[in-house]
């Protein structure tokens, strides 16, 4: 029975973290898959979302500004707005230029955001980070929530304590995982509608033939900024949920570009950029591989270090972690070259452009 | 009968899926200037690019002195002695005039000095501007640089894509007289032109292209005098 | 004047700024050439620099154990050969397949390479810092005495003199290559217009190889100069350099190697001088934000003049 609970909780954690990555991947899909915008600073938008959420929802703390103890949904909404705002500013500056510049600028903004988080210690507590971030469902069992409105309406603190004591300590896990899966589903549904709407078809047309779209009087730059901002808002939400999942965030290791930005790219490319289902599938698949390979490698290391006792298992473990990263990088290159469409290649909505392509390039 | 320097035989070609040339045949004999004229979108430039292997040839062949060069990559075609001057962006703007000519000689690196001297003879205007960036020259002078650059390789044939497009009448005349001077050095020329009347004036023969196929052909003077062609393209003659 | 202001300013801000500038300049040369000639922003450039420094250190360590102590500038030569091989192999297997595709695919591939190379270095050499040269670098006594005599004492350790000299040699050699040699002129021609270069018959593949070779030498030098200066090898240093180098390339104008050198010097100086107490006693900008200076300059350039100061290419 104990063992089954362990497996059950492992699967729940895969669903949770895979789901958070799926949200990032869906956000990236709006930017890259729909609009062809290269965002190399996903980590920055995730960090903005996570810190905004953390500062707004944590209890008051002497270490950082706030926390403001606001309700969780408010924190998540503002996290989205902040991330969108930053994307809007970058978009206004870079989107008219070629995609390479946007890539450079976004990788820059990712670093600058981390720099600010590290240096503005009065606001963010610097490298020590923010802890005790409330996690949805689990937060109900925290004193500051059950002693205040609205929970205090339904029971006295003593009732609540007794109630939570009666639950297994992992009671929140299925609920949190379920919530994340639900959020993924809602975002998916909304993006599918957007993709099939005139807006989505215009995005496809712009991506395929920008000059023609411009000539047809479309405001290409504006549409692109919209896509960039929407994608960033989704990433901000992903960041907020990431903060909930971790409960402790700090600028350096939590927001390591290779583990956030890069992994999300691999997920989207593997799943199929331009395809929302592909983004979700890629996220879950790559996360499962990533997570399972960690278990596999640590098993392997235990075996190796027990046979060769001259090797230090802790050094092997760190090196193996990098090897895993390298293999993921190679996996991405292979997918890019051999399977550019990913597992679920993009399905084009019937585009109004298709009827206009009879005039090819002329000879003069 | 002598073999043509260049011949295009029943060519069907285009970009990707789009076919632009439907059935094109033409040839250039030694010591000849041949003009291709026709309305916009007739495939004049495409015909030229098909020689350079820049687009998909579906049927037909291209021959240089009787040797098939169909679908040969541009670099090889140029090594074989076909020199091409594109219509626009035909000089390296950040390189000096002399450096442009040196780049023209990339496939024939020996004897560059001698050929540079020949070019400055042929284009005396360029001689004094040899150290200047090509981007700082006027349109007509750039065209001269582009032609000189193309001639740096003992060209067997010179392809000119609308050499007078966008130039003032003064330069247009100058370009056409230079074209005749080039012919006198023994290089045959195939030229695509919008300024049909002037082009036919200097040409030995001409082809009229409509919808990717040749509609008429004849001597330069003959075509220029043909009333139908005059009505179709020559109009006021710009 | 010198005592009150100059001594501190020159020795503790200006010279370090120039040193950093030289490093950025050499790195930015490779970035701007790749961007100009191969038409893509190479994200792996910083990692290549970093691996060049690690290779140099390894060569020094191996030969040092055999009793042959090499100066870093000597060990740099075999290391740059290895880096060139690495560049050419990367190009062949990861970039070339996308040569005819949309350029953003290559950017993405280089983004992947960034991670692969860094992880490989971390697997081989481990993630921890390695001391490149131990000890404290003392100012060159001759220079100190000489400048002290004329009342403008300059404290410059030998490592900085080597860095300046190395940068000058490389930049002059690059100038010779680009303006006097056939392949160098062809590099400028391809940077100017790849299509025209193609129909001119220029061997573009050869030009691309030359670009990687020049970029590889400059990147290795930049990496080695950086570790000579900081005396520390770190796997994250390549990534840290990436943004300032891009900023330098954009400031100078894409495809303009001299622009990149100028841009590198400006960015290096700006980063160091931003920490000078221009107003009052506190640094104008907290040293933690140095990287931000490069980014700010880059963003301003992208808004005001994306083609850069020397009229480079803007896309």
**Residue closest to C170 by CA, chosen among C216, C211, C218:** C218
Chains that touch C (3 or more CB pairs under 8 A): A, B
Cα–Cα distance for residue pair B212/B12, rounded to 1 Å: 9
**Residue closest to B38 by CA, chosen among B211, B220, B228, B237:** B211
* Chain B residues touching C194 at Cβ < 8 A: none
Contacts of C202 (CB under 8 A, 6+ apart): B75, B103, B106, C186, C189, C190
Within its chain, how far is the Cα of A257 from the centroid? 12
Mutation for B interface: C181, C183, C200, most B CBs within 10 A = C200
Give whole-number Cα distances, A267 to A327, A337, C243, in Å.
14, 15, 25
Look at residue C165 in the predicted model and tell me its pLDDT. Answer: 96
Q: How far is A104 from chain C (nearest CA, A)?
A: 7
Look at residue A136 in the predicted model and tell me its pLDDT. Answer: 84
Give the residue ranges of DSSP H helices in C181-254. Answer: 182-192, 194-200, 204-230, 237-252
pLDDT: is C277 or A357 the higher one? C277
Look at residue B45 in the predicted model and tell me its pLDDT. Answer: 85
Look at residue B211 in the predicted model and tell me its pLDDT. Answer: 84
For the stretch B157-173, pLDDT in tens is 999 999 988 888 888 88
Q: State the angle between helix axes of C182-192 and C204-230 in degrees (0 to 180), rounded to the nearest 10.
A: 100
Look at residue B5 in the predicted model and tell me its pLDDT. Answer: 92
What residues does B191 pair with on adjacent strands? B35, B160
B209 sits in which H/E element: strand B205-210
Nearest to B104 among C188, C192, C200 (CB): C200
Nearest to A325 among C105, C119, C302 (CB): C119
Give whole-number Cα distances, C184 to B75, B181, B218, C37, C248, in Å.
19, 33, 47, 12, 22
Do B43 and A360 count as a contact with CB atoms less than 8 A apart? no
* Chain C residues touching A112 at Cβ < 8 A: 291-292, 295
Cα–Cα distance for residue pair C265/C138, rounded to 1 Å: 24
**Residue closest to C14 by CA, chosen among C155, C158, C147, C136:** C155
Contacts of A101 (CB under 8 A, 6+ apart): A94, C41, C250, C302, C306, C315
Cα–Cα distance for residue pair B106/C201, rounded to 1 Å: 7
Look at residue A361 in the predicted model and tell me its pLDDT. Answer: 39
Do B41 and A361 count as a contact with CB atoms less than 8 A apart? no
pLDDT over threshold 90, residue B229: no
Do B103 and C193 count as a contact with CB atoms less than 8 A apart? no
Do C299 and A38 count as a contact with CB atoms less than 8 A apart? no
* Chain B residues touching C180 at Cβ < 8 A: none
* Chain A residues touching C110 at Cβ < 8 A: none
What residues does B28 pair with on adjacent strands? B6
Do C201 and B153 count as a contact with CB atoms less than 8 A apart? yes
Do A100 and C126 count as a contact with CB atoms less than 8 A apart? no
Look at residue C313 in the predicted model and tell me its pLDDT. Answer: 67
- pTM given for the model: 0.89
Model confidence at C49, pLDDT cuts 50, 70, 90, reads very high
* SS3 (DSSP) at B36: strand
For the stretch C245-265, pLDDT in tens is 999 999 999 889 999 999 999
Task: Spell out a b/e string for B134-154, using b for 16 or more CB atoms within 10 Å of the CB, else e.
Answer: beebeebbbbbbbbbbbbbbe
Look at residue A360 in the predicted model and tell me its pLDDT. Answer: 37
CATH of domain B1-81+156-238: 3.40.50.300
Are the beta carbons of B28 and B4 closer than 8 angstroms?
Answer: yes
For the stretch B109-166, pLDDT in tens is 888 999 999 999 989 889 999 999 999 999 889 999 999 999 998 889 999 999 988 8
Burial of B185 (0-12, 13-18, 19+ CB in 10 A): exposed
For the stretch C123-160, pLDDT in tens is 999 989 999 988 888 888 888 888 888 888 888 899 99
Nearest to A333 among C94, C126, C292 (CB): C94
Chains that touch B (3 or more CB pairs under 8 A): A, C
Do C201 and B79 count as a contact with CB atoms less than 8 A apart? yes
Contacts of B137 (CB under 8 A, 6+ apart): B91, B97, B129, B145
Contacts of A42 (CB under 8 A, 6+ apart): A24, A27, A28, A110, A235, A260, A261, A264, A265
Rounded to the nearest 5°, which phi and psi values hold at A95? -70, -25
Cα–Cα distance for residue pair B93/C189, rounded to 1 Å: 9
Cα–Cα distance for residue pair B114/A269, rounded to 1 Å: 55
Handedness of CA A119, A122, A124, A130 (dihedral sign): positive
Task: Give every residue of chain A whose pLDDT is below 70, as ranges.
Answer: 1-2, 349-364
Q: How far is C273 from chain B (nearest CA, A)?
A: 34
Contacts of C17 (CB under 8 A, 6+ apart): C268, C269, C270, C271, C272, C273
* Chain A residues touching C303 at Cβ < 8 A: 93
Task: Spell out a b/e string for C216-245, using b for 16 or more CB atoms within 10 Å of the CB, else e.
Answer: bbbbbbbbbbbbbbbeebbbebbbebbbbb
Do A326 and C123 count as a contact with CB atoms less than 8 A apart? yes
Rounded to the nearest 5°, which phi and psi values hold at A46? -65, -40
| DSSP β-ladder status, B205-210 and B213-219 | antiparallel
Look at residue A307 in the predicted model and tell me its pLDDT. Answer: 78
Task: Spell out a b/e string for A245-281, using b for 16 or more CB atoms within 10 Å of the CB, else e.
Answer: bbbebbbeebbebbebbbbbbbbbbbbbbbbbebbbb
Topology of domain C2-304, CATH: ABC transporter involved in vitamin B12 uptake, BtuC (1.10.3470)
* Chain A residues touching B16 at Cβ < 8 A: 360
Do A360 and B15 count as a contact with CB atoms less than 8 A apart? yes
Cα–Cα distance for residue pair C2/C5, rounded to 1 Å: 5
Q: How far is C97 from chain B (nearest CA, A)?
A: 18
* Chain C residues touching A106 at Cβ < 8 A: none
Are the beta carbons of A219 and A213 closer than 8 angstroms?
Answer: no
The whole-number average pLDDT for the span C284-313 is: 85
Domain ranges in chain B? Answer: 1-81+156-238, 88-154
Q: How far is A357 from chain B (nearest CA, A)?
A: 10
Do B15 and A361 count as a contact with CB atoms less than 8 A apart? yes
Cα–Cα distance for residue pair C201/C189, rounded to 1 Å: 12
For the stretch A311-362, pLDDT in tens is 777 788 888 888 888 999 999 999 999 888 888 888 876 544 443 333 333 3
Q: State the angle between helix axes of A172-196 and A220-246 in degrees (0 to 180), rounded to the nearest 10.
A: 170
For the stretch A59-107, pLDDT in tens is 888 888 877 888 889 999 999 999 999 999 988 888 887 778 888 889 9
* Chain C residues touching B107 at Cβ < 8 A: 201
Look at residue B236 in the predicted model and tell me its pLDDT. Answer: 43
* SS3 (DSSP) at B137: coil
Cα–Cα distance for residue pair C217/C177, rounded to 1 Å: 13
B208 sits in which H/E element: strand B205-210
Q: Which of A166-170, B53-57, C205-209, C297-301 has the highest mean pLDDT?
A: C205-209
pLDDT over threshold 90, residue B91: yes
């Amino acid at each position: 029975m104990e063992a089954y609970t362990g497996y059950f909780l492992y699967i729940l954690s895969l669903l949770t973290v895979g789901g958070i990555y799926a949200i990032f991947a869906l956000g990236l899909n709006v930017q890259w898959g729909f609009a062809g915008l290269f965002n190399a600073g996903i980590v920055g938008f995730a960090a903005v979302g996570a810190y905004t959420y953390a500062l707004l929802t944590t209890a008051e703390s002497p270490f950082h500004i706030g926390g403001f103890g606001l309700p969780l949904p408010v924190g998540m909404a503002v996290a989205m707005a902040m991330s969108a705002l930053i994307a809007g500013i970058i978009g206004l500056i870079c989107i008219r230029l070629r995609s390479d510049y946007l890539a450079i600028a976004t990788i820059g903004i990712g670093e600058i955001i981390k720099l600010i988080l590290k240096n503005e210690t009065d606001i963010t507590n610097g490298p020590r980070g923010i802890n005790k971030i409330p996690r949805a469902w689990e937060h109900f069992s925290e004193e500051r929530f059950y002693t205040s409105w609205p929970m205090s309406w339904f029971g006295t603190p003593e009732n609540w304590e007794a109630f939570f004591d009666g639950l297994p300590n992992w009671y929140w896990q299925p609920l949190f995982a379920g919530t994340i899966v639900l959020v993924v589903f809602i975002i998916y549904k909304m993006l599918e509608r957007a993709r099939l709407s005139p807006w989505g078809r215009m995005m496809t047309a712009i991506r395929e033939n920008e000059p023609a779209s411009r000539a047809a009087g479309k405001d290409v730059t504006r549409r692109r900024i919209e896509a960039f901002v929407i994608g960033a808002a989704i990433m901000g939400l992903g960041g907020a949920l990431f903060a909930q999942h971790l409960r402790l965030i700090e600028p350096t290791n939590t927001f390591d570009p290779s583990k956030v930005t890069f992994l999300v790219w691999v997920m989207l490319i593997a799943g199929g950029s331009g395809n929302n289902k592909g983004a979700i599938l890629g996220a879950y698949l790559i996360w499962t591989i990533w997570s399972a390979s960690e278990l596999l490698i640590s098993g392997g290391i235990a075996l190796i270090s027990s046979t060769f006792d001259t090797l230090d298992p802790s050094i092997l473990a760190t090196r193996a972690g990098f090897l895993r990263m390298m293999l993921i990088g190679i996996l991405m290159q292979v997918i890019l070259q051999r399977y550019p469409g990913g597992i679920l290649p993009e399905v084009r909505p019937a585009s109004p452009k298709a009827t206009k392509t009879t005039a090819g390039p002329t000879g003069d | 009968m002598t073999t043509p320097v260049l011949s295009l035989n029943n060519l069907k070609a285009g970009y990707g899926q789009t076919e632009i040339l439907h059935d094109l045949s033409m040839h250039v004999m030694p010591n000849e200037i041949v003009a291709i004229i026709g309305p916009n979108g007739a495939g004049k430039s495409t015909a030229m690019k098909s020689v350079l292997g820049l687009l998909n040839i579906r049927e037909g062949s291209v021959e240089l002195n009787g040797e098939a060069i169909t679908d040969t990559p541009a670099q090889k075609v140029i090594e074989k002695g076909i020199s091409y001057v594109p219509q626009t962006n035909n000089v390296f703007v950040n390189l000096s005039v002399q450096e442009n000519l040196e780049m023209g000689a990339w496939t024939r690196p020996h004897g560059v000095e001698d050929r540079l001297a020949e070019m400055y003879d042929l284009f005396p205007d360029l001689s004094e501007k040899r150290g200047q960036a090509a981007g700082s020259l006027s349109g007509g002078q750039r065209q001269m640089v582009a032609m000189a650059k193309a001639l740096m390789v003992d060209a067997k044939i010179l392809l000119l894509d609308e050499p007078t497009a966008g130039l003032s009448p003064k330069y247009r005349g100058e370009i056409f007289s230079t074209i005749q001077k080039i012919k006198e050095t023994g290089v045959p020329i195939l030229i695509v032109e919008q300024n049909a009347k002037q082009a036919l004036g200097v040409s030995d023969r001409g082809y009229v292209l409509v919808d990717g196929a040749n509609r008429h052909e004849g001597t330069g003077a003959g075509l220029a005098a043909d009333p139908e062609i005059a009505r179709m393209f020559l109009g006021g003659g710009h | 004047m010198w005592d009150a202001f100059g001594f501190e300013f020159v020795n503790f801000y200006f010279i370090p700024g120039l040193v950093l500038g030289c490093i950025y300049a050499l790195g930015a040369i490779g970035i701007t050439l790749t961007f100009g000639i191969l038409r893509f922003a190479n994200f792996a450039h910083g990692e290549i620099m970093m691996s060049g420094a690690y290779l140099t250190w390894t060569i020094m360590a191996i030969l040092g154990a055999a009793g042959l102590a090499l100066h870093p500038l000597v060990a740099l030569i075999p290391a740059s050969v290895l880096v060139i091989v690495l560049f050419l192999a990367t190009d062949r297997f990861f970039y070339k397949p996308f040569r005819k595709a949309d350029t953003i695919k290559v950017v993405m591939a280089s983004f992947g390479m960034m991670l692969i190379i860094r992880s490989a270095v971390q697997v081989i050499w481990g993630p921890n810092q390695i001391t490149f040269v131990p000890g404290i670098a003392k100012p060159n006594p001759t220079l100190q005495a000489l400048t002290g005599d004329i009342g403008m004492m300059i404290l410059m350790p030998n490592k900085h003199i080597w860095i300046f000299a190395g940068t000058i040699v490389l930049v002059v050699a690059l100038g010779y290559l680009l303006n006097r040699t056939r392949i160098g002129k062809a590099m400028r021609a391809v940077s100017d217009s790849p299509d025209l270069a193609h129909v001119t018959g220029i061997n573009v593949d050869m030009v691309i190889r030359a670009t990687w070779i020049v970029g590889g030498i400059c990147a290795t030098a930049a990496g080695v100069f950086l570790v000579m200066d900081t005396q520390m090898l770190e796997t994250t240093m390549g990534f840290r350099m990436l943004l300032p180098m891009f900023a330098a390339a954009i400031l100078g104008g894409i495809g303009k190697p001299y622009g990149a050198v100028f841009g590198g010097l400006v960015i290096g100086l700006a980063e160091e001088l931003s920490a000078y107490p221009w107003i009052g006693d506190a640094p104008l900008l907290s040293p933690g934000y140095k990287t931000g200076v490069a980014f700010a300059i880059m963003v301003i350039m992208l808004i005001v003049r994306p083609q850069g100061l020397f009229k480079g290419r803007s896309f």
